[in-house]
Amino acid sequence: MSLRELLKTIVQSVDGSLAALVMAYDGIPIDEVIVEQSEFDMQLLSVEYATVLKEIKRAVDVIKMGDLEEVSISTSRTSVVVRILNDDLFSVLILSRDGNIGKGRYMLKLKSFEILQELS
């Protein structure tokens, strides 16, 4: 299964999904699937969250609490789940506020290995 197909599977499996992406820490998307009716600029949102994620990762390293695995960010309009894939890449699922965040977290975790396999 291609990377795009994996991302599409995640988006189609989770109610309220707006987009799924694989990104590098520099904010450059490796691949993405975006739902057409989304009103948000997904690239801008992802780049800004990549910056935040770098700071969170740095803080986790400083306090030596183990490796960062996942971050969830909820606002009044969206929920974003970030799953760390390796030292260079992470996956992102962006959901509408009423989206199924629990299933989104599960699907990102479930598909992480397949995503990494596809990228190698």
- Sort residue 111 into left (φ over 0), alpha (ψ -120 to 50) or beta: alpha
- pLDDT tens digits along 106-117: 999 999 999 999
Does pTM surpass 0.85?
yes
Q: With bands split at pLDDT 50, 70 and 90, how would you rate the model's confidence at 5?
A: very high
Residue with tokens 């962006």: 94
Bridge partners of 34?
19
Which residue range(s) make up the domain with 12?
Answer: 3-119
**Helix or strand (DSSP H, E) at 110:** helix 101-119
CATH at residue 11: 3.30.450.30
pLDDT value of position 15? 96
Number of domains in the chain: 1
Across the range 38-61, mean pLDDT stands at: 82
CB burial of 64-76 (b: ≥16 within 10 Å; e: otherwise) equals eeeebeebeeeee
